[in-house]
Structure 1
Amino acid sequence: MYQQQRNKNEDFLRKSNAISTVSLFILFLVYIILSEFKFSVYTVIIMVVITAINIILFTYFKYKIHIGYKEENINIMDYVSSDLSWRYLIYLSLFFVGMVLVENFVLIIREYSYMIVLNAFIFFIWALSLNNPMVTLLIKKSVQLKDIFIVHEVSELSLEMGIETPSIYILNTGNRIANAFEINSREAYVFITSYLMNILDYNEIIAVLAHELSHIKLKHNRKTALINFGVYIIVINVAALGFVFNIGILLALSPFFFISLIVFLFLIIPAIKRRNEVAADLNAVRYVKKEYLESALIKISNIENIPENVMKSLSLDHPATSKRIEIIEKSKS
């Protein structure tokens, strides 16, 4: 039953990501095609109309996927008000329309317009990752933690770690998904699923929250996003320079750059995240007892079926639980 639900959630994410990717591709393609035509009011109108249709279809299909998988009776207007992703698509659309206008009056911008748009697009994705649009939706599906003892412990831990106390929310997942995570955007948030709250005891909950606070203290999300941004900028710009200015050596190396990008996304980034998990564990056990975090990790691993095989876990962002416990045991708390 749990595995079926997990597969369903993964399928939901795949379809949502596919819709987002197609919409962004259409937006970028429309800009490239229309920027080749002679500038006129009609060019701008056509681009505005096509992007408006794109945004409407994007929102509609995301809504249909949402109600199909989440089994919620939510009308489309409520969904639109809670899901902010369509707004970011509008911001990017306005930028593209602005580029069509500007590049027709400034020649140097027209010469480098593709490079400017490409870099702006990468920056947009990076900014989106820092200001996570899912926060509003997650908060709507959660209740703020009210347990005065846990709230007090979190405040004390935050003070000891030298960070601002984040808002703690319990994400309602029923009898499935044992997980906790932090989102460090403009403000810090920690979400812990209702199922995880039910299966852990008090000390284990505090240990898990100490782990999430450690991610905030060590700025893991922001550092990973910055690394992503830097690699995208370097790899894609070097490859794009080869195509735009017909530089032979760069054209020859373009396949290598894109293969490197794929390796980075599917192997290097997960490895960085696994390292971050270990670092958060080690920081957490400076403030809570090792055995509490270890017992929590074992319970989560048993439910989430985290692979112990090293080869199977290469693309995962969490290390094998036995490895994490081994490292915790060797640490000085």
Structure 2
Amino acid sequence: MSAAPFRNRLTEQLGITVPVLSAPMGWVARAPLVAAVSEAGGLGLVPGSLDLATIEADLAEVRSLTDRPFGVNIPIAFAQDPAIVGLIADAGVRFVTTSAGSPARFIEPLKEIGVTVFHVVPTLATAEKAIAAGVDGLVVEGSEGGGFKNPAEVSTMVLVPLLADRFDVPIVAAGGIADGRTMLAAMVLGAEGVQMGTRMLASRESSVHAAVKDAILGASEADTFMLNRTVGRPMRVLRTATSELADGQDVRPLLARITETYHDGDLDASLLQAGQVAGRIDSLETVAEILREAVASFDARLHELVRGRTVDA
């Protein structure tokens, strides 16, 4: 028995060989990273949170770097212009994830241009609304992942099987996923693929400054926390002097300086969004190495479980 090649609804829908998506991290998931994930058999996602000119340039660069499928994320609360749908059509993109709001107004125009749409959901209630709106699948995001989060704080371990039992659509698990072991766990819970964010941030193709990658490599499992847990929009970030002082405050001025952290390496200038899984990442690898090791580990762990059950039987 072999775990690879993978074949399920997700791989068939997206035309990929490894059911791994890269998180569409703004100012992190630039064209080299997105293309590298797709080239390695997964699916890279271009962040749609930036300005249209940057998104258009990223789409063109990704297309020049790979002929494999890739996608786009539309964060509805932050997308700066609905014309992004036109850019997606012009780039020939066939997969979109929507997030941070109701996908309802984007479903029809995206379906009209032949796009498969998954919506990012943090709770059962948001999943029910997304399914009712007509999405094709779900990215089920637990609270242990980095970035903006729902105040409900439901973990991946609880959320994935809950939604897998309720809805007959492909599920991508996000939050706490970094390798083959966690990918296997997600699939046992009912997912058909996974999304990696923090693991991809700490890759060689990631566009962030070396100081940011070093901060992830040096982090423990307890070095992130939920900023603004009870006010504003909660966000999981790396614990720094700046982030601790910002807790309970308006973080928009800090977010306006995000490139000073991600591009210049000033960890105190802004907020470094990262997941708890940073505590499990201790090496800087290429995307190809990350996916190759994930598949090998998935296969090895699955065989160990099967052999153990056979022996016990």
TM-score, length-scaled by structure 1: 0.26
Which structure: greater helix fraction? 1
Instruction: Compare the two structures and name the one with the higher strand fraction.
Output: 2
The TM-score normalised by the length of structure 2 is 0.28
Please tell me whether Structure 1 or Structure 2 has the larger radius of gyration of its CA atoms.
1
